Structure 1
Amino acid sequence: MPEETTSGRDRMDALPAAVLAFSAGLELETTLHRIVTAAAGLIGARCGALTLLDEDGRTTGFAATGVDDATSRRLPPMPAVLDLPLVVRGAVLGRLCLGGERPFTADDERAIVALAAAAGIAVDNARLYEESRSRQRWLEATGEISAELLGGTDVHTVLRLVASRAAELTGAVDALIALPVPPAEALVVTVCAGPDAEELTGRRIPLDGSTSGAVLRDHVPRSVPNLAYGLGADLGPALAVRLRSGESTAGVLLAIRASGAPGFDEHELQLVSAFADQAALALRDAESQATRRELDVAVDRDRIARDLHDHVIQRLFAVGMGIEGTRRRTDSPAVTARLTRHIDQLQDVIEEIRSAIFALHSRPGAGRGLRARLQNAITDGCADSAIHTTVRLSGAFDRVPAGLAEHAEAVVREAVSNVLRHARAAELAVTVSLDEELVVEVSDTGIGMPEAVARSGLRNLAQRAAEAGGSLRLECPADGGTCLRWTVPVP
């Protein structure tokens, strides 16, 4: 029997074992290495390479054997080369290339053709398995984001999680979210996950002439070899999809691989687009739930405020009127004085409840409104003083314009500071009321304010009143102390 025929039979006898060697697993990278190793061993090739291709002919995977540089995508020059495609259902999945020191025979080629047919099926199965696992990981990431939002995590933290998971699942070196800024001519990188986060966060991306701008405008996701507008880092292929983070705010999710890395394929583009859509839906649901919670809180606050006004204050008024009637019927000066103090204390309580009612009617989350700022100004000024301080705040301060609120806070801080530095007072009273006018009244029981201090210290307060169309008045009662009254109209 001729030697070539015997060799051909040996090849075909060894073929089942070679096919079995790469058909046992479903890990794509492992399968590629097993195929090229089995193919080279089957026909005694010196080296081999298997290149996995997508529908557009771009390389999506690579494995080699017998090559010194494992990262090389080319075989070294060889006397004999055998190159054939891996075809499944009419589609080319990749190419198998083998190199040898001697010419390959027809039996070698027949054996490799048979092996390539089985290898194509093995690669297709491994790729389908890889895609299934990838979908599962993306679904788990989406579920994690939804759970964080339902748990009350703030949106910015969740956006960082979105970027982090996008980088992790796409094999990107950096993933970032860019949101538009007024006047809607640019995007700003709001969050970034990756080693270039510090460099990229805060970078501006123009809408015109950028990949992100194009995605934002036409809503079509893109996979590009390089960003149209560079971000200043050594970055390579990028994937950009639109991310809608609210009813009126749209942004872009970018995943960027290192320079020289393979580009994103169509399957990855679809997965990231679906992930961005699901993340955006979770963000909108969280915003809707937050709005509903705020509405529930507002309803409860209104109910509490109504009960305080309709019941508690009315009962306190009744108690005060009863004490007032008792005071008028007594002839004892000591009892009269004591009842008068109780009436004043009741009035203070009523004013405090009214302040609480106004605070309950204010917008939820308005903790840095004028009421809080005035209280903080008084607290800060008196923190290191033993002076006895009485504070009365009444009115719907939320309707005070921002500029006027700045004036009022400055007046309170300056007036309290003047009392503490110059008056030597034991008692300080601060009353701020709002009706048709905003009135700030600061009085003390001290020795009065020196004339030089009064001129210099009150000049700014008078100027603030004049700017707002109001007035400043300083009084020194005969029994001592000082009373400052700052009044401005409220539009």
Structure 2
Amino acid sequence: MSAPRSGPPTPLEDVLGIGDDLELRATLQHIVDSATELAGARYGALGVVDPERGGLTELFTAGMSDADRQRVGRLPDGRGGVLGLLLRDPRPVRLDDLTADPRSVGVPPGHPPMRSFVGVPLQLDREILGNLYLTEKRAGSFTEQDQNLLRVLASQAAIAIGNARLYGTARQRERWITGAAAVTNALLTGVNAMDALMTVAESARALADAFAGVVLQPTEEGGMEIVAASTSDDPGDIVGTTIAPGSPVLVQLLGGEPVFIEDSSTDPRMTTHVRARFGPSMMLPLQSGGKLIGTLALPRRRGGRPYRAVDRLLATQFASQAALALVLADSQHDRERLAVYEDRDRIARDLHDLVVQRLFATEMMLESTRRRVAEPSLDGLLGRAVDELDSTIQEVRTTIFALQQPPADGPTGVRGTVLRETGGAAVLLGFRPSVRFSGAVDTLVSPRVARELLAALRDALAAAHRRGGATAVEVEVDATARSADGTGAVRLVVTDDGRREDGGTGGTTVTWEAPR
């Protein structure tokens, strides 16, 4: 019986354990380090190709010192030269003198001298995922045995990249599906129309890792207006922004077509004043049954990483489900309002047909009795009773009129918006934070301070989600607090039991305070 093998894992064993991006990066670095050592090369590199835009997005190197990297500066992007050849023509390349080959172009200034070269593509199911190459054999030139070794390691690297991308896509798809289900559930619990749009905007922003989540709706003039916006800071200058009729992007949006933009700040189709701060963006129609409810826009910051094809697909599916949920929520709200109207109408009829008639009949009886009574004291008593009944009849009739009117929407204020923010955070946290208010927050807190408080609350909830591990979050808003100088203040305290910034346990408490 052979003894169990000990020592560090082999590259193939690393491949089998791929789970996330950190593990992938460690595995690819281990592969290029192993290839360089086993083949006796001075330098080695493994490049990963962007599957949508071509060129190398990452380059893992071996044998280069920090000083070498500083001299080189920008590493090759793989679009030209021998590296580009490996991507265009996926066959191994072995050269005794790289400098003498006419295909050797695009070497950055300051790059270490290279002569002997062997490179192979990273290929999986006919898809080129990158390349692996070695230079400067320490003894002689690279052999066919070195080339075969490199091909084995390249196949392991290709499997690792392919598995990591599949795993990442599956995790991402799971997050979007879970988020869409949570949004649907939240919308069907009876929120009003504006809260429903904010729920969609906030959830989509978090799922897409966007700077902002924005909902636009058509205007009577034929344009579109931003009616709800969720950002990590104050979105006040975003809400109300309009896209004027005739804008090139508006034709696609009103036609229910998604619009994908590489850079909002430079795209000529974008005409709003807020576009300068945004980069990659998705604008997705919210439509169901041929009815266009609006548009969901998910811009990232200027210079942010582009959206991939899987991002666009999942976000489009989310928008379709969110639109259906909005329609169902609106229909459910209409049914609930109709039920309320019917119940109020029944109550009004009963009050009119039964209560008012009986009160009126009693008033007539008392008035008739009053005429027959000669006693002054009884006459005054009956007169006051008749007046009371007449006043009661008028109040009942006023109530009947009020019951027959449509009920007004629920009040909005600091209390309502704080509850909305915590309700939206429940989609990502997996539970609803507990909220406690002290004092008359709606009357004591000014609108400007309320906006600052909500921005601080968003930041604290987002930080709790990023740290992870939280099973409970407590939010306290105290409008009766006092600042250090004794003036009135409003204080926000957000406490969670998750991991701390330093990696420890015990939870985190965030406190924000401002004069009312």
When the two structures are superposed, what TM-score results if normalisation uses the length of structure 1? 0.64
Please list the CA deviations of residues 426-463 of structure 1 after superposition, one character each: whole Å capped at 9, or x if unmatched.
Answer: xxxxxxxxxxxxxxxxxxxxxxxxxxxxxxxxxxxxxx
* 1:155 paired to 2:148: no
Q: Which amino acid in 2 is paired with 1:74?
A: P
Tell me how far 1:246 sits from its aligned partner: 10
CA RMSD of aligned residues (A): 3.3
Pair 1:209–1:360, CA change in 2 (3 A): closer
Identify if the C-alpha distance between structure 1 residues 163 and 320 changes in structure 2 by more than 3 Å, giving closer, same or farther. Answer: closer
Unaligned runs of 5+ in 1: 1-13, 369-491
Matched residue, 1:118: 156
Equivalent residues of 2:281, 2:300 under 8 A apart: yes
Query: Separation in 2 of the partners of 1:196 and 1:315?
Result: 58
Paired with 2:22 and 2:380, the residues of 1 have a C-alpha distance of 93
Report the CA distance shift for 1:111/1:206 in structure 2 as closer, same or farther (over 3 A): farther
> Against the structure 1 CA distance between its residues 164 and 306, is the aligned structure 2 distance closer, same or farther, given a 3 Å change threshold?
closer
The CA deviation at 1:199 is 4.6
Find the aligned partners of 1:142 and 1:367 in 2 and give their Cα distance.
Answer: 26
For 1:167 and 1:255, how far apart are their aligned partners in 2?
A: 6
Tell me how far 1:65 sits from its aligned partner: 3.3
Residue 98 of structure 1: how far off its partner (Å): 3.3
Comparing both structures, which one devotes a greater share of its residues to helix?
Answer: 1
Q: Which amino acid aligns with 1:120?
A: A
Find the aligned partners of 2:31 and 2:158 in 1 and give their Cα distance. 14
1:258–1:311: structure 2 CA closer, same or farther, 3 Å change rule? closer
Query: Is the Cα–Cα contact under 8 Å of residues 49 and 58 in structure 2 kept in the other structure?
Result: yes
- Is 1:142 paired with 2:180? yes
The corresponding residue for 2:60 is: 64
Question: In the TM superposition, what are the counterparts of 1:313-392 in structure 2 within 5 Å?
Answer: 313-365=356-408
Cα distance in 1 between the residues matched to 2:145 and 2:362: 112
State the structure with more CA Rg: 1
What displacement does 1:329 show? Answer: 1.7
Instruction: Give, in angstroms, the shift of residue 248 of structure 1.
Output: 5.8
* Residue from 42, 45, 50 that aligns with 2:47: 50
Q: Check if 1:190 corresponds to 2:236.
A: no
Unaligned runs of 5+ in 2: 1-6, 78-107, 412-516
Amino acid at match of 2:58: F
1:86 aligns with 2:130: no
2:255 counterpart (204, 215, 218): 218
Q: 2:10 is paired with a residue of what secondary structure?
A: helix
Q: Give, in whole Å, the separation in 2 of the partners of 1:319 and 1:189.
A: 55
Q: 1:241 aligns with which of 284, 290, 302?
A: 284
Q: What SS class does the counterpart of residue 318 from structure 2 fall into? A: helix
Alpha-carbon contact 2:47-2:56 (below 8 Å) kept: no
* Offset from partner CA, 1:214-246 (integer Å, 9 cap, x none): 441332323331233163434322222112499
Q: 2:353 is matched with which residue?
A: 310
- Cα–Cα, structure 1 residues 150 and 59, in superposed 2: closer, same or farther, change >3 Å? farther
Deviation, 1:168, is 2.7
Identity percentage over the alignment?
29
Question: Does structure 1 retain, via aligned residues, the 8 Å contact 2:118–2:147?
Answer: yes
- Tell me the number of residue pairs that the alignment of Structure 1 and Structure 2 aligns: 352
Secondary structure in 1 matching 2:276:
coil
1:101 maps to 2:103: no
Distance 1:169 1:109, change over 3 A: farther
Equivalent residues of 1:174, 1:196 under 8 A apart? no
Change (3 A) 1:179 1:131: same
Contact 1:50 1:95 in 2 (8 A): yes
Distance in 2 (CA, whole Å) between partners of 1:333 and 1:247 is 76
CA–CA separation in structure 2 for the residues paired with 1:259 and 1:188: 20
Cα distance per residue 1:371-404 (max 9 Å; x no partner):
xxxxxxxxxxxxxxxxxxxxxxxxxxxxxxxxxx
The normalised TM-score by structure 2 is 0.61
What is the aligned counterpart of 1:288 among 309, 326, 331?
331
Residue among 23, 26, 35 paired with 2:19: 26
Instruction: Give the residue type in structure 1 aligned to 2:154.
Output: A
Matched residues in 1 for 2:192 and 2:317: separation? Answer: 22
Structure 2 residue identity aligned to 1:50:
G
